[in-house]
Structure 1
């Protein structure tokens, strides 16, 4: 692929493509192409989850590394940032000194990549979408179906808007609408997902009786830990020697938003109650998971090139703080000043230094292409309401909310898998009947 399509005759990049055959003896002719999240996630690493979810049951599955991702050339991994995050579990999450270390690691990565000739501004959603359009033509595919999750929905909606030819249907899972994605928006999603967990607890009699005011407990613990952080030793969930972990208010909140499996949503009320009574181990173990990152697997260079050109501009740090105050009144400003999952991003973007692309990227997708919009009610990264919001301008869309599931719904829900299969077979009339009987799993109740 061209690195920069506006620069004719310029440098080219290489992207890995994997085609996973359909398991059906008579597969449909229109394959499914997958768009990974992140930005910066490992698309090839997602293949086992896609196979387990039977995405390739009736159709071939096509997976391509996004530009800058693992298995692409160049790879915009930042081992410098991986090493920062490994050490950050033993530091205050939102302390200025932590931010300075992150900025230093980011600058080191940027300097290394640019010295190697990488044009960082070319790693954006517009070029990413054009890569997929070129792939369809290169493979000689007349029509295909698009499935993306998280940032992959931002990319998929951009692709549908800019390169609609050949798209038979589009399924988007855990939706980040391109016209909305920004740092203040992260607080809206965090509040929606966390509130859904608390409301689900209140709807289960045992959980409500054992944890009658979990929302107040969270506020109390965020305020307490931000004023007086805890330092404890904790063993990472994957095993190994215990590591030093610091729990402040920002770390606590981001563990709730991260939804990475180290702290399942069904354990959150119990974990908060234990924390309030002097036992921080559930949260400490979840924080310790960050001490052993897979160095080089996640492309932070792609993350920053997209975030700094498409998500950060047009909103200020003050806007982030105000969004945090609106969603979580009474929480400390030091916590609310940092966007969940993207701490110190304004300082990071000053050193990453890529041009503002919001005018071409922050645009609503309007389409008649059949669309399936899937969200999990416990998703605190991309709140479930944003799926319905994106669907307003997708005139042939079906919106599905799966109760009690967090980020990236399909691999977690057999019902969502059945709905996706039905949608691919009949995009205009998918069978969503299994959704009506769903409810969140019972919450963990401690003595």
Structure 2
């Protein structure tokens, strides 16, 4: 495994994009994200061949939830608002009488005269900690003119039950010292996943109920329980899959929808991950070629990358290096699969990727090795791997075979070893994991296009290798009142990293049908790191 969400994204927050705001929290989650590599998740725009008949066709509506005021969750940065929990049925389809409790935080608007319609946030993963994202949302000004409502999605941190998998977290910590895509590594991951599943089901958790349909119904229940006539929806990574599902199934009361780092529900699957990886990594290499100094210093980076993936897959490196945040050195194995997933997870900042690849080609693998070492120190229990697998195994994996995944990888990166291409970026061994997780196929009710006249803002970063930038406009084809922007030089989860994107979002919330996007036109990727020629040896 590499050193692993937000997508899809998404974990310990499966998202490790760079940027000043997100970097503070991501420093402690990169490990799990790079080690596990889950963040956003998805699959390319292909039609499943020979898909098994879907086994789930239910319609979920159900009774409204009940909001109970209470103390805010204990977090490193105190929640600056009022809180409580939303109580809803665990399953609106398989009525068992069990209830789930979801933490809710309401952060007041910074403006003295806020608008009446608040913003509700949907985080990534699936399995990410929405409450932990509040500081980034505030830093990005999401609550500048409106109250901000943040709810922990079912099964995640600050909910009951919590579908955390310490067994899987410990596997990812150990996996930095193993070959990423070796069958023996996959068997260890499957064993850890099954241990988590057995524990959760023994506790009475109905894993079938932790899906995007129920998740969307929770947010509909929240709006009713809080008595909100209209609100605005903002989601990123898996949260865009959720937001588009919410818009399709519960359109009442939605004034506008903003989706950031887009995962179209009708397209997300394992093969799609290779398409997104090719677009995001390719954009970084192309941007270097467009900067004269970078092009001169690092010529033909695509060839360099292919050579290093092939070399490391044939002869993996074993190193002992300190984690990025300091601490005792740890053993890491750097093979072709690990290298690729470090790039997809943005574990090495995009501005440093050309230099890191050049250093690797000249016998200096330290940048990538340190990034992989970050996975050795995960925050146990922070990320809800149980929600990740219940969503991925029911909604993303069915309908595409291992052969489909390998073919998608070969199309995206011809010449790379099949052992690398056989594993979906950020979701290795997922077919085997899903066999152990054993939840029903839900693609018939979830792999559906959202069509809506509700105004929408679609934001993607050109350097996003988890949810490729072209998938935003793709989702917008059936959102006729949408505005799509691509922000150059930004990876996964754009708004916290880009002042321009923050300005666009604020303008959109004020005027959903005519946002000011003028700042995007003048943006270019930052200059890449240029190391002296003398450091090559």
The TM-score with structure 1 as length reference comes to: 0.99
1:19-418 → structure 2 map (5 Å cutoff): 19-259=106-346, 262-418=347-503
SS of 1:373's equivalent? strand
* In structure 2, C-alpha distance between the alignment counterparts of 1:9 and 1:277, rounded to whole Å: 60
Question: How big is each residue's C-alpha offset from its partner over 1:177-202, in whole Å with a ceiling of 9 and x where there is no partner?
Answer: 00000000000000000000011000
Give RMSD over aligned pairs.
0.5
Which deviates more from structure 2 when the two are superposed, residues 177-186 or residues 7-16?
A: 7-16
* In structure 1, C-alpha distance between the alignment counterparts of 2:317 and 2:335, rounded to whole Å: 7
**Corresponding residue for 1:10?**
97
Question: How big is each residue's C-alpha offset from its partner over 1:11-42, in whole Å with a ceiling of 9 and x where there is no partner?
Answer: 11100000010000000000000000000000
Structure 1 spans left out of the alignment, 5+ residues: none
Cα distance, 1:7 vs. partner? 3.2
* In structure 1, C-alpha distance between the alignment counterparts of 2:123 and 2:279, rounded to whole Å: 23
SS of 1:14's equivalent? strand
Question: How big is each residue's C-alpha offset from its partner over 1:133-178, in whole Å with a ceiling of 9 and x where there is no partner?
Answer: 0000000000000000000000000000000000000000000000
Cα distance, 1:8 vs. partner? 3.8
SS of 1:233's equivalent? strand
SS of 2:102's equivalent? coil
Cα distance, 1:6 vs. partner? 1.6
* In structure 1, C-alpha distance between the alignment counterparts of 2:446 and 2:321, rounded to whole Å: 42
Which deviates more from structure 2 when the two are superposed, residues 236-245 or residues 112-121?
A: 236-245
Q: Which has the higher helix share?
A: 1
* In structure 1, C-alpha distance between the alignment counterparts of 2:432 and 2:371, rounded to whole Å: 26
The TM-score with structure 2 as length reference comes to: 0.83
* In structure 2, C-alpha distance between the alignment counterparts of 1:185 and 1:61, rounded to whole Å: 32
Cα distance, 1:9 vs. partner? 5.7
Question: How big is each residue's C-alpha offset from its partner over 1:59-107, in whole Å with a ceiling of 9 and x where there is no partner?
Answer: 0000000000000000000000000000000000000000000000000
* In structure 2, C-alpha distance between the alignment counterparts of 1:120 and 1:38, rounded to whole Å: 17
Which deviates more from structure 2 when the two are superposed, residues 243-252 or residues 232-241?
A: 232-241
Question: How big is each residue's C-alpha offset from its partner over 1:383-442, in whole Å with a ceiling of 9 and x where there is no partner?
Answer: 000000000000100000000000000000000000000000000000001001000000
Cα distance, 1:234 vs. partner? 1.2
SS of 2:106's equivalent? strand
* In structure 1, C-alpha distance between the alignment counterparts of 2:135 and 2:328, rounded to whole Å: 29
**Corresponding residue for 2:6?**
none
Question: How big is each residue's C-alpha offset from its partner over 1:232-262, in whole Å with a ceiling of 9 and x where there is no partner?
Answer: 0111111111100100000000000002xx4
* In structure 2, C-alpha distance between the alignment counterparts of 1:54 and 1:254, rounded to whole Å: 31
Aligned residue pairs: how many?
A: 445
**Corresponding residue for 2:520?**
435
Of residues 505, 516, 522, the one that matches 1:420 is 505
